[in-house]
Structure 1
């Protein structure tokens, strides 16, 4: 079942873009029933595409090129940008969204024949070797021996990324309205005191609730949320100045400093590392970000 949105809110996710196609059921690749350990493929969504909550009987690894994928798992939002993938264990309920025109790759792994188990979603380092192997396995003309050799190397090189970047949502009735408002509009600059007044609770209550639910202060959590959103915007080729304005920063330098605090590097350096192996244009170059 597929429907087109009109830009409405999507609980626990960014506001849907107008024209988003929503898939309410997910079909596994035809070859997933074949005697393969790994079944890989790719597609290019021509419009923003969203998958409502679902699960698979197989482990899944997804990654994108030329865009981003956002996934909601319970009370966490994962942002998957170029150079990273997301491992989704079999049976875990998740929702997802891919930007228009992104080259969307997925690979399904038979749980009973996968020689490792990640019990929870994991960011995966999509090295050139791993991407090449999984692209190779998407071919339909491989014989059993060639497939077995490639699968064995995949299992050797598939590793969690050093940075596990997920946004923890509060799931606390006292402050959920703040989280939903900021997901809808990350540029919302209302202070903690203004939110407390609106929600008719004390500043201290808001502060404690954020710390208890997310491990971060309100300011740190909002900053992290904005960086998640920035990854999507920058991956789409939007320049740093426009991104900083979109996210409510007065100056690009303020946004770059916030990005560095969360990611440990500047936007320019982050995307240069990601793009370094294939020469893809760095979408944030030339704006004082190195």
Structure 2
């Protein structure tokens, strides 16, 4: 049986899990990375945890093992799963939510010593080499030369993922109620026509609004939203049948087909690839830094 998803609804995000701890991110000084270009850390999130909206004076890269991280940035929701990370540029306001039991990793990059700049949040391919290098940089016994060599390789291998896990929210008052309802309950099966009648607008208005705001049709956007939610549920250990029921699919095969259309592979193959990735080294160093 799936655990209850009932909890407080927060605008533009999934319904908050019962028992979620909401934390305020501590402000980091601009010199937090000094005298290094990269500072990395690790901790385990014992309970569902949410960080209120905040920004950092440093660039940040976050990734997880054994769970997922969801981040709201403006009108986009990013879902971070194993094998991928999320790059957050310095100064960008964001909030985050991690599932219980997730191994939460982060690395902070000093902007004046980072020889590249992603000007917006991006999904990053967390290759075994990149993870190993950042784990290496979490050590406190590295001399300056060893750290400089490792940091240089990090800058060489850090690359955006081929797939950006971002759900574009409409940000259009004509259809925002639809987006909020589906975020609260992805299984909501009301049709475009049902929504148009409820909102007192024409079917064409809803169709046009979704295309203009998200680049997708209503059906495509709902499918994308459901796959984003599925990533979190599957990472928490729910089986495909349970996830398909929670998301409102009549048959698991329908859910698998939808997942393949969005992600290019089946749920099983997607998560098997993440779990089988070689070179994963658990970082024993705890970090007090916040996402």
My pick for the range that moved more, 268-277 or 36-45, is: 268-277
2: distance between equivalents of 1:182 and 1:67?
22
User: 1:270 Cα deviation (Å)?
Assistant: 1.1
1:215 aligned partner: 215
Structure 2 length-normalised TM = 0.91
Unaligned residue ranges in structure 1 (runs of 5+): 1-5, 281-290
Is the counterpart of residue 266 in structure 1 residue 275 in structure 2? no
Q: Tell me, what secondary structure is at the counterpart of 1:19?
A: coil
2: distance between equivalents of 1:75 and 1:242?
29
My pick for the range that moved more, 179-188 or 25-34, is: 25-34
Asked whether the 8 Å contact 1:240–1:252 carries over to 2, the reply is yes
1:203 aligned partner: 203
1:283 aligned partner: none
My pick for the range that moved more, 266-275 or 193-202, is: 266-275
2: distance between equivalents of 1:190 and 1:81?
29
1: distance between equivalents of 2:243 and 2:157?
35
Asked whether the 8 Å contact 1:29–1:39 carries over to 2, the reply is no
User: 1:278 Cα deviation (Å)?
Assistant: 4.3
Instruction: Deviation per CA, 1:47-85: give whole Å up to 9, x if none.
Output: 101111110000000000000000011000000000000
Q: Which has the higher contact order (CA 8 A, sep 6+)?
A: 2
1: distance between equivalents of 2:13 and 2:152?
36
Asked whether the 8 Å contact 2:174–2:206 carries over to 1, the reply is yes
2:155 aligned partner: 155
Q: Tell me, what secondary structure is at the counterpart of 1:179?
A: helix
Q: Tell me, what secondary structure is at the counterpart of 2:40?
A: strand
1:15 aligned partner: 15
2: distance between equivalents of 1:132 and 1:184?
37
Q: Tell me, what secondary structure is at the counterpart of 2:194?
A: helix
2:106 aligned partner: 106
1: distance between equivalents of 2:26 and 2:198?
40
1:245-256 residue pairs with structure 2 within 5 A?
245-256=245-256
User: 1:27 Cα deviation (Å)?
Assistant: 4.3
1:183 aligned partner: 183
Is the counterpart of residue 228 in structure 1 residue 228 in structure 2? yes
Q: Tell me, what secondary structure is at the counterpart of 1:18?
A: coil
1:5-154 residue pairs with structure 2 within 5 A?
7-28=7-28, 32-154=32-154
1: distance between equivalents of 2:125 and 2:270?
14
2:173 aligned partner: 173
2: distance between equivalents of 1:29 and 1:235?
34
Unaligned residue ranges in structure 2 (runs of 5+): 1-5, 281-291
Asked whether the 8 Å contact 2:82–2:274 carries over to 1, the reply is yes
Asked whether the 8 Å contact 2:66–2:236 carries over to 1, the reply is yes
Q: How many residues align?
A: 275
User: 1:277 Cα deviation (Å)?
Assistant: 2.0
